[in-house]
Amino acid sequence: MRCAVLGDPIAHSLSPTLHRAGYAAAGLPDWSYDTQRVPAGGVRAFVEQLGPEWRGLSVTAPLKRELLEVATEVTEQARLVGAANTLVLRPGCRVADNTDLPGAVAAVRERYDGPVTAATVLGAGATAASTGLAMVELGARSVTLLARSAPRAAETAAVVAAHPSAPRVLVGDLALDPVAGEVVVSTIPADAQSDDLLARCEAAAVLFEALYDPWPTPLARSAGERPLVAGLDLLVHQAALQFAQFTGGPAPLEAMRAAGEAALAQRSSR
């Protein structure tokens, strides 16, 4: 049985490490999981040449919205986000799902059990949409999106605002505008995390850094004693949900997490 993660770039992905550790812990020696570099616009061609041995695909940037176009079924979570990071493959059926949303909810609750009445998301891509919706699932009535491009942020703002609870969504300038709420989620590159931006995040009770490589990012280093939700936390929780969908069995989450931690520690020591 074969699975893989698609994206461009993709060599940095920890997904193979997590899923392979899961297969080993679950006693699935006939399952494999690899990386596949697929550029924007290439998802359909890749999917349509797959053989019957394929059971699932994980998808990262820049392919999350494109993945919806090749699915025969789309889950409610993926429809809500307007993007998918998971394609479950069965004979005659391709089911697109989004495990980033519930994965983000689980990652926050693992580190923080306090209230979430408002949140700020830095960035405006597909990950900003899924984590913004996760903040609403956690109770946020107001979500602020701080982005470098207002037109790009408009699409993500519309996605978050369409949540059934009808949250208030504000769009601001990443370089200028204030941060609001208990949680700050960063989906922007590490080199975009300026000293000024970090200063505006000082009042947040919780920091959520969606990146895991490079690590630690400036935002992660600034956490101090505050709860920090790491990119690896999100990756592990969303990967565990994918593992269950691909294999049909429960994910060995702690084995997957330990493998990810070991891989990141090895990278940081280089």
Q: Beta-carbon neighbour count of residue 264 at 10 Å? A: 20
Q: Where would I find the beta strands (DSSP E) of the chain? A: 2-7, 32-37, 54-59, 73-74, 86-90, 93-97, 118-122, 142-147, 168-173, 183-186, 206-209, 228-229
Name the residue with tokens 């392919």. 63
- Is residue 135 among the annotated active site residues? no
10 three-class SS? coil
Query: DSSP of 50-90, one letter per residue?
Result: --TTEEEEEE-TT-TTGGGGG-SEE-HHHHHHT--SEEEEE
- Contact 159/129 with Cβ under 8 angstroms? yes
208 three-class SS? strand
Which two three-digit tokens encode residue 73? 């079924």
CA distance 9 to 6: 9
Q: Beta-carbon neighbour count of residue 51 at 10 Å? A: 6
CA distance 160 to 128: 9
Nearest one of 23, 50, 86, 29 to 247, comparing CA atoms: 23
CA distances from 222 to 98, 127, 197 (A): 30, 22, 11
Active-site residue (options: 64, 94, 200, 237): 64
Residues with catalytic annotation?
Answer: 64
